[in-house]
């Protein structure tokens, strides 16, 4: 009889703990994490590295981890002038805030933002690019 009472108490305790875990789990699954994007203003961070890029009016097939359509870019050091005759380079990632348009040559200024090494994917870059300004 003593063993039956201990067993009953144990079953009731385990049942209560499982019910509590399910209640906590249902609340946790309702939590939403929102990432807030703030526009970059040059005046706010004068230490950030920036680049000026020409973005071609076409994309080309390229292979990263999988086949994709890469932006084609040329880096430049000046905000004036035209792209050079040099070859365009495949750019394997997106530029945050930049809306590429087929058929339109664009000149943009971007910020290079370091990515936390713990958040880099196996094939990912240690830098993400974010649009500061469309120059042309």
Is the pLDDT at 27 greater than 50? The verdict is no
Report H helices in the chain: 2-28
pLDDT of residue 87: 85
Ranges of beta strands (E only) in the chain are 49-63, 67-76, 89-91, 95-96, 106-114, 127-134
Describe the strand order of the beta sheet including 89-91 as a list of residue ranges.
Answer: 89-91, 67-76, 49-63, 106-114, 127-134, 95-96
Q: What is the mean pLDDT of the chain?
A: 74
Highest mean pLDDT among 11-20, 76-85, 93-102: 93-102
Highest mean pLDDT among 29-38, 65-74, 99-108: 99-108
CA distance 87 to 51: 18
Is the pLDDT at 69 greater than 90? The verdict is yes
Q: Does residue 117 or residue 33 have the better pLDDT?
A: 117
Domain edges within the chain? 1-33, 42-134
Q: Do 83 and 75 contact (CB within 8 A), yes or no? A: no
pTM for the whole structure: 0.60
Is the pLDDT at 8 greater than 60? The verdict is yes
For residue 30 the two structure tokens come to 């309702």
Q: Do 45 and 114 contact (CB within 8 A), yes or no? A: no
| Band of pLDDT at residue 119, cut at 50, 70 and 90 | low
CA distance 42 to 133: 10
Q: Does residue 119 or residue 21 have the better pLDDT?
A: 119
Nearest 10 degrees: CA dihedral of 103, 107, 113, 114?
80
């Amino acid at each position: 009889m003593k063993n039956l009472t201990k067993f009953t108490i144990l079953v009731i305790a385990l049942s209560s703990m499982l019910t509590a875990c399910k209640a906590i789990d249902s609340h946790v699954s309702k939590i939403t994490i929102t990432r807030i994007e703030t526009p970059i203003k040059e005046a706010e961070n004068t230490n950030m590295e920036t680049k000026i890029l020409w973005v071609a009016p076409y994309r080309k097939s390229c292979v990263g981890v999988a086949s994709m359509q890469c932006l084609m870019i040329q880096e430049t050091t000046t905000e004036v002038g035209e792209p050079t005759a040099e070859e365009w380079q495949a750019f394997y990632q997106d530029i945050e805030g930049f809306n590429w348009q087929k058929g339109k040559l664009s000149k943009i200024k971007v910020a290079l933002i370091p990515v936390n090494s713990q958040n880099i994917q196996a094939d990912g870059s240690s830098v993400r690019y974010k649009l500061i300004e469309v120059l042309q």
